[in-house]
Structure 1
Amino acid sequence: MLSARKKILKRILQVLLIVVIFYFLVKNLYVNWGKIAEYDWNINYYFLTYSFVLLITGAILMALGWNLILRMLGGRLGYKKALKIFFITDLGKYIPGKVWTLVGKVYLCAKEGIPIAKTSASVVIQPLIQVISGMLMFLVSLPFWTKTSDFMNNLYLLLPLIPIGLILLHPAIMTKLLNFVLTRLKQKPIELNIKYRDILLI
């Protein structure tokens, strides 16, 4: 009887969560509808399809990248399960608060037997790698830009950020930063079993 009630409560919470997500999606659409209606739409369906394919491919690669990081931390998820958890929890970014994606991943991964600290670490490491790698790619691409301006020329002053970014990506540095955060959150420190070359390949 108690188990049946838990299942019913779980189903109600799932439906409620979906309703909340779609509420904020519709709300954002309604608030910005004026800008959408005023925009001069000229749709190129070829590029639209191409962009959609790239969007889906990029999202899948991000999910697999997160799963790879989680595996390196000692968390084991099958690829299908990882994709499911990643895309379900990614909907949490549409809910105000900015923490629901993390909360969702921690909750669903905990049900798979993965410690909270490891899941939290994976969620922190992934955007850190994305930001630093994106910054590095941008700086490296600067010489190939055809149109320059004073602002663009001044961006070369950011070149020292390349070695700084590479240093921050080192497992020893990331371990110290993550454990500092985890201790503040009263979680057990972890050891990153990740090689530096593996991080650079993610």
Structure 2
Amino acid sequence: MTRPGPAHWVRVGFLVVALAFGVVFVAARWPQLRAALGQLSWGLVAAAAVPAAASILATGQGWRTMLADLGGRLPVRGAARVFLLGQLGKYLPGSVWSFLAQAELARDHAVSRKITVTGSVLGLLLALGTGAATAVVMLPAGDGALRRYWWMVPVVLAGVTFLHPRVVGPVLDRVLRLLRREPLVRWPSYRGLLTAAGWYTLGWLLLGLHCWLLMIGFGAPAGPSLPLAVGGLALAFCLGLLFVPAPAGVGIREVALVLAFGPVLGHGESLAVALISRIMLTMLDFVMAAATLPVCRADRQAPRARAAADEGTRP
């Protein structure tokens, strides 16, 4: 039996550090969380966890679709393992840990670092673009919020232009040349981008449904609160993603949600919803990632040599 190499211990160290940050994050907010949960029924909390978990899975499928479009095909279980374990890096300070972790884990399935990082960056841009579009569509229906968030319209238009296959493909090749890497053999396609965007949009809708159930528990009217829940949460997440120094957008997301939910909830209730949502999503991230650990070695094709050879050549 071969001994674990340095790469194995780097992975273990990453998981331990990410878990430590997650535990500290939850523990520091536990008193406020317990007080907020005291105002809700556990049945409603459990119900809100279902679309939240489904949202994470939909986002992971969008990421998998983006990689496949670039030539990096992952099996469903393998993709879940790479995506869910890798995204724990978002709880560490900085913005690159998820990309690095996913790039390393994907090599177990013969997907090169170049394809994984490129696909992850495109996935992040698609998440931001579809999130901003969701906010633009849903927030005006809530309370004429477009007057406050008008600046998101040009952001969405700029994102659509940049993510056009004939624009983003040459840009990616230029960036790779600057990094002294071979250009991509396969540029992102219309079908791949649209399919991935559909998965990301579904993820935003499910995430908003999760938040809507929590808002109802605090007394928000069901009809007016639904578009605010979907659009407000999408807006808050996008702002959190853009604020790089804060791990997982801590603080930014909460402020945005309090402002977005103002028309239907008081500040205290809005902050309670934001807190419960964040803790629930954090716990789901770690629980769902842990569920992928028993994946058999047979499911991980493990042709790492082929992936290593691809690092400096065309995928």
Q: TM-score range by the shorter chain?
A: 0.7 to 0.9
The answer (yes or no) to whether the contact 1:171–1:192 under 8 Å persists in 2 is no
Q: Where do 5+ consecutive residues of structure 2 fail to align?
A: 197-315
Higher relative contact order (CA 8 A, sep 6+): 2
Partner in structure 1 of residue 95 of structure 2: 98
User: CA 1:141–1:17 in structure 2 vs 1: closer, same or farther (change >3 Å)?
Assistant: closer
Structure index of larger Rg: 1
Letter in 1 for 2:166: A
1:24-61 per-position Cα deviation (integer Å, ceiling 9, x unaligned): 22222344456546657412323312221111111111
SS of 1:106's equivalent in the other structure is helix
Partner in structure 2 of residue 83 of structure 1: 80
Partner in structure 2 of residue 139 of structure 1: 136
1:153 aligned onto 2:147: yes
Partner in structure 2 of residue 188 of structure 1: 182
Q: Where do 5+ consecutive residues of structure 1 fail to align?
A: none
Partner in structure 1 of residue 22 of structure 2: 25
Alignment partners' CA distance in 2, 1:9 and 1:157: 47
Q: CA deviation at 1:192?
A: 4.0
1:177 aligned onto 2:174: no
Partner in structure 1 of residue 57 of structure 2: 60
1:67-96 per-position Cα deviation (integer Å, ceiling 9, x unaligned): 111111001211111111111112222233
User: CA 1:199–1:23 in structure 2 vs 1: closer, same or farther (change >3 Å)?
Assistant: same
Partner in structure 2 of residue 4 of structure 1: 2
1:135-190 per-position Cα deviation (integer Å, ceiling 9, x unaligned): 11211224412x347xx424345434443222122012212332343334332221
User: CA 1:39–1:174 in structure 2 vs 1: closer, same or farther (change >3 Å)?
Assistant: same
Identity score, percent? 24
Q: Aligned residues, how many?
A: 196
Q: Which deviates more from structure 2 when the two are superposed, residues 38-47 or residues 85-94?
A: 38-47
The answer (yes or no) to whether the contact 1:67–1:77 under 8 Å persists in 2 is yes
Q: Which deviates more from structure 2 when the two are superposed, residues 96-105 or residues 157-166?
A: 157-166
User: CA 1:12–1:43 in structure 2 vs 1: closer, same or farther (change >3 Å)?
Assistant: same
The answer (yes or no) to whether the contact 2:107–2:113 under 8 Å persists in 1 is yes
